[in-house]
Amino acid sequence: MSERPLSESGFPVKPVYGPDDVSPGLADRLGAPGEFPYTRGVYPTMYTSRPWTMRQYAGFGTATESNARYHQLLRAGTMGLSVAFDLPTQMGYDSDDPIAHGEVGKVGVAIDSIDDMRRLFDGIPLDQVSTSMTINAPGSVLLLLYQLVAEDAGVPGTALKGTIQNDILKEYIARGTYIFPPKPSLRLVADTFAYCRKEVPKWNTISISGYHMAEAGATPVQEIAFTLANGAEYVRAAIEAGLAVDDFAPRLSFFFVARTTLLEEVAKFRAARRIWAHLMRDEFGATDPKSWMLRFHTQTAGVQLTAQQPEVNLVRVAVQGLGAVLGGTQSLHTNSFDEAIALPTEKAARLALRTQQVLAYEAGLTGTVDPFAGSYVVEAMTDEIEAGVRDLLARVAEHGSAVDAIEAGFQKREIETSAYRIAQEIDSGERVVVGLNRFAVDEEEPYEPLRVDPAIEAAQAERLARLRSERDAAAVDRALDELRSAARGTGNVLYPMKEALRARATVGEVCGALREIWGTYRPSDRF
């Protein structure tokens, strides 16, 4: 078996590490757990006082079907919900829009209005459950729907806990579910920061994501560098909008991948915390220690799962989850073993959650803080990743800003180059993927995936038609006009947006009103 001489990020991996491999000043770069620069974790006790939040990303078909899955996951012991939305919802279109045809309910749940949101969270105690929503361009819209449903149930915004992804910059780089151009998109993000500080103070207003860049082929160094560059851009946008850094920075959060290369992933998380702490304190002048902390959610690497011998994915996910925990994640989603084939079945989702529970309650990981502190190999890798990230951050800065680099296609080109290299290594067999290019079997066992009923699209359209016939159309029109007026001006658009949604305007109508004023993003043909 040939040995891989390079890490995922391209650094040489030595067979033996010792004190000479760790650069001087280690104690200053480490600090104690819960102390600047947070290399060893953002909290002094980490998992010794309580384990990480165990989330399971779920959502498919109709709100009623997804609600049943959420209740099942809560009964199985999950600590927080993580909502997947279908592509029309992510793009700000209603289910009966012609552009939504064939995609309704496919990769997540279809949410068109407050009525759907009520069904999605029926019977779930929103004052007790933390909810993460993977939604970006229309993130503020879904947050307001969630708040309205909670208020209907007597739960004030001050009691709500959760996260909206709300990270539009990575959409331009790696994912593509953007709506508006960068400038108004950043304004919407800043308006959400300001709104939540006053109305939903416990909510994490953004989850700055490297996960999707990693899924597109980014190396660990690229994942961290481009994510932190985007994070800095959001901070600048909020400051330029008149917000004080310590008023919003404590509610920033991040979202990273966990690959199977366990040691490098642990080092990656440590380096990310350290760089962000210095960035917030030294460049942006934050004085609140909570503003220096890089708190993050992790999802295991979907791109590393295989449709071949899918049960092997259970092992991959366990190793990936272990890396996230040893790296100090605040919450974790473990992928289901069948996700390379279709939406997870109920059994597969339960097994994914059980993987986290084994790590938390059987593996002995919660008895001590930062088990890898002082490890020669991990500390050396942390330093190497930090140096690589700082170099890439400088290259982004040469373009002027993260947005300028995005418009020049810099991050996209860098990631595509890495993705091509990885594909070549897999094709040549240099990078081993068990069950795919080595240790394959002649015949796969039959597997019955979960399938979404195509009739869902027609049912959603019927519900929308009924909603439009029942609601006060004049009130909706007035509310949407108020939203357009706010979008033309400088006021916070979330307040009129909330009133429009309360009047039962749909997600598509709200996003359509903003499209009329702000336009839609068209990527440059330069890349």
Q: Taking phi first (over 0 means left), then psi (-120 to 50 degrees means alpha), and beta for anything else, what does residue 448 get?
A: beta
Listed range (61-75, 213-227, 458-472) with the worst mean pLDDT: 61-75
Question: Is the CB of residue 177 less than 8 Å from the CB of residue 90?
Answer: yes
Contacts for 69 with CB less than 8 Å, ≥ 6 apart: 58, 59, 60, 346, 349
Residue 446 structure tokens = 């039959």
392-402 per-position pLDDT tens digit: 999 999 999 99
Cα–Cα distance for residue pair 62/269, rounded to 1 Å: 36
Q: Pinpoint the residues of the chain covered by CATH 3.20.20.240.
A: 40-428
Question: In CATH, what class is 40-428?
Answer: alpha beta
Three-class SS of 366-388: CCCCCCCCCCHHHHHHHHHHHHH
List the one residue out of 210, 209, 419, 444 whose CA is nearest residue 306. 444
Cα 359 versus chain centre, distance? 22
- The average confidence (pLDDT) of the chain is 94
303-336 per-position pLDDT tens digit: 999 999 999 999 999 999 999 999 999 999 999 9
161-190 per-position pLDDT tens digit: 999 999 999 999 999 999 999 999 999 999
Cα–Cα distance for residue pair 111/182, rounded to 1 Å: 25
pLDDT of residue 449: 73
401-451 per-position pLDDT tens digit: 999 999 999 999 999 999 999 999 999 999 999 989 999 998 887 777 777
Residue 185 structure tokens = 């998109």
List the one residue out of 255, 103, 240, 239 whose CA is nearest residue 164. 255
450-496 per-position pLDDT tens digit: 777 889 999 999 999 999 999 999 999 999 999 999 999 999 999 99
17-47 per-position pLDDT tens digit: 889 899 888 888 898 999 999 999 999 999 9
Please check the confidence at residue 2 and state whether its pLDDT lies above 50: no
